[in-house]
Chains A and B, each alone.
Chain A
Amino acid sequence: MIEQEFLGRLEELLEKMPEGERKDILYDYEEHFQNGMASGKSESEIASSLGSPQAIAKEIMAGYHVAQATENVSVNNIARAVLATVSLGFINLVFVIGPLFGVIGVLFAFYVVAVVLVASPVLMLVAAGMPSEPTGILAWIFTSMVTVGAGSLLGIGMIFVTRWAGKMFLKYLQFNIRIIRGA
């Protein structure tokens, strides 16, 4: 009865996982119960020494989401991995959210610079008006070519940097789970 309750609860909490993996995990706990009873323990003893299904499910889901995101790097997957890791405990909130905002802030700043560089020819016109003499127009064209070129290169570079930063951050999440839960 208690075993069924425990396994049922765990199964519910793991419903977001693919079925095969979930069955695999549930089997481990079933085996644990049966081994425990074979050595003469009661179901409630075994269940209480296992700990709560919630705690176990959080642990499993955090590992799962990080693995998912590592395989397929996307904003969505990373967000899920961050949430799952944070839900493991308050310490993670500090160690995950802090660096996350730091990284996002720096990336954002570089994107802003790239956009400003690309837009600068227009900005120059707005600020100084259309230059009247030919040398002014030439100067404007040349500075525009330089800033637009630099801006687009920076923007393209930033896309790669962002992808790389996402991957590094996932590594950091894995490291976090390992440290806090103790390997």
Chain B
Amino acid sequence: MMASFMPDKDLQQMLSFQTLYIGVSPQKGPSLYNIIPMIELLYGVWFIKGGMHTMAISMAKLFEELGGKIHYNANVDKVLTANNKVKGISVNGVEINGDYVICNADFPYAITELIEDDNLRGKYTKEKIEKMEYSCSCLVFYWGVEGEFPELETHKQILKWLQRVIPVSMF
């Protein structure tokens, strides 16, 4: 597909390897993942002071500043339903009711473990979920190294053309 627009193999790799982040071949990846090279090229890749986790801490802080409340160490056991509607959640065995529930847990876990009523899972039955294949994401090494490496920029990518594309990203 990409080769029909760009004959240059390096450019093809640069703009197509991002689906490997989710363990899917560029030939099979959803076009949605074009967002990643688009963002890289238009806005650049940045490193947050203190690391990526600073983003999470800052967003939690913003939410609390807006008046929201975060309950930590609060394990949601179930999403509670009644009359085909979600009515609340069960946290460590305690029922909490709400007008709306938004669940951001991993989908296969949430739909099979948190929803009790088989009829409310729609087409995502336990059998269907169990049959689904998982793809491998990146192989990631965390290296603690001494010194500084000014020749390496944030998110430096080294592409190597073997039989498949092997991207290496430095963060």
Tell whether A and B belong to one assembly. no
